[in-house]
Amino acid sequence: MRLTVPRFHILGAKEIENYLLVPDAIARAAHERLRERPAGNIEPDAVSVSSIERTLSKCTEEVKAEVCAQIIAHRSEFYNGRDSRDRATVVAETIRNLDSDWVAFKRRLAIVPRKQILTSLNWELQAAFNISVTPTQIIRHMAVDHVDQTFRDILVDLNAFASAHLKSALFQERAYRDPLGR
């Protein structure tokens, strides 16, 4: 598709914000929030990458049935009338695919509803440490290697697209102001 439609991309995640569900960046954002607080009885190191992973795992398990139902509904609708397979076959295949994706933690984080997961994570952080983290704080703590290569390609294409259109707009604005190019 990219050969016929330049800058065409299909996200590898449910939503663009799912790329923010990076345990290392979330842990660093939580550390920052803990350091902002007046000296207290909670050390910033109390929030580890592994504790964030455990919390994200718990939060995602809580929505597994909803994720499964949504994927089944959308896939059934897509194949309805387009495929001769029995609907039960499509549903069974969908469940097998979801189970496979669910085992791979990074893939699981790509298919869950990000807003709901981040809200649940913040409830957990609030209960344990009286803090929460925002998408902006998470982004600030992300490293290049945290970002999926496909998503990096999308960002590069968006930047190129925006730059090309900005240059074109500036050129047109100058030509409009001074048609003789003075």
Chain segment 59-88, per-residue pLDDT in tens:
999 999 999 999 889 888 887 777 777 888
Q: Where are the alpha helices (DSSP H) in the chain?
A: 23-36, 49-61, 64-79, 87-103, 105-111, 114-129, 135-140, 149-177
Provide the residue ranges of all domains of the chain, joining segments of one domain with +: 16-143, 148-182
pLDDT at 1 over 70: no
Dihedral angle of Cα 146, 105, 71, 58, to the nearest 10 degrees:
-110
- Dihedrals phi, psi of 11, to nearest 5 degrees: -65, 145
Question: 0.85 cut: is pTM over it?
Answer: no
